[in-house]
Amino acid sequence: MNAIRITGIVLIVLGLAGFFTGGFSFTKDTTAAKIGPIELTVKEKQSITIPQWLSMGAVLLGAVALVMGGRKP
């Protein structure tokens, strides 16, 4: 397999994962205040959404790369 076909497969997998999950979330620890030995930390939950058009674009681009990578020059 050449690099273009592998890139196409990776784009298709990532595009489908983004389409079905819709995004991901993570928890971020931040220090709100620090007074001597006492430290106040806050956990913030942040989420990132992946637009459906971006996911479908990645699948389409991956399919094009997969087809173009299979051609012989």
Q: Which residues contact 67 (CB under 8 A, 6 or more apart)?
A: 8
Q: How many domains does the chain have?
A: 1
**Residue range of the domain that includes 23:** 3-69
CA distance 33 to 42: 9
pLDDT of residue 14: 93
pLDDT in tens, the chain (73 residues): 688 889 999 999 999 999 999 888 999 988 888 888 888 889 999 999 999 999 999 999 999 998 887 776 6
